[in-house]
Amino acid sequence: MTQNKNLVSAFRPQTAGAISYAPLGTKVPTNAVDELDTKFVKLGYISEDGMTKSYDFDSDTEKAWGGDVINNIFNGKTSTFEFKLVELLNSEVNKAVFGGKNVTGDLENGLVVKDTNTEPESFAWVVDMIGKNGVLVRIVIPSASITDMDDTTYATSESAGYDITITPQANAEGVTNITYIQKPKTVAAENAPVASTGGETHNV
């Protein structure tokens, strides 16, 4: 395969927001173009750093007498996703971070967010991005919970937010997350093919 600069891409979030979450067990998409299940809720703006997918490999290297590497023993791999949710006044953002049972009310009548010491709730997550030439990239994480969270700074010089790391749980096949990449669906041609009936033509 020859080099192709059109296959090199940076990524931006979809207009309505890149990261969505839903209750565990919600039907997840199986491609990059279908609409999400209505249970998914978008979490608004993410900080300009975007999202980072990290890998932690657990492996041991065996060496022979003399120092030659003779075997690499693979013990497992963990994938994590880190991003900063900056819509701190958004009730859904707070529910995703602190759990639905710990967030009540609304901005109009008063939003109450309880920070407890309970185990973080697991959710289904979807990340929707747009690459070069409008190619759609979607990462589907059927089950993940928050496993780390950086400090939240309240100041006049920067936007406060929740910088979280989520860690997916593997399914029965050992899959933790799936990335779908696809060109967007094209709009149907304005004029459909025509068929001749006598001396006239009609759209079909």
Digit-by-digit pLDDT tens for the chain (204 residues) are 799 999 999 899 888 889 999 999 999 999 999 999 999 999 999 999 999 999 998 888 999 999 999 999 888 889 999 999 999 999 999 999 999 999 999 999 999 999 999 999 999 999 999 999 999 999 999 999 999 999 999 999 999 999 999 999 999 999 999 999 999 887 543 344 545 445 544 443
Is residue 29 a contact partner of residue 180, using CB atoms and an 8 Å limit?
Answer: yes
Is residue 103 a contact partner of residue 112, using CB atoms and an 8 Å limit?
Answer: yes
Tell me which residue of 133, 119, 143 sits closest to 183, measured CA to CA: 133
Which helix (H) or strand (E) segment holds residue 55: the answer is strand 46-63
Would you kindly state where each structural domain of the chain is located, as residue ranges?
A: 5-203
* Half-sphere exposure of residue 135: CA atoms within 13 angstroms, side-chain side: 14
User: What's the maximum distance between 2 C-alpha atoms anywhere in the chain?
Assistant: 90
123: phi then psi, degrees, rounded to nearest 5: -135, 170
Is residue 54 a contact partner of residue 176, using CB atoms and an 8 Å limit?
Answer: no
132: phi then psi, degrees, rounded to nearest 5: -60, 145
DSSP single-letter state for residue 108? T
- The pTM score is 0.84
Q: Which residue has the tokens 């039907």?
A: 27
Give the pLDDT score at 190.
Answer: 37
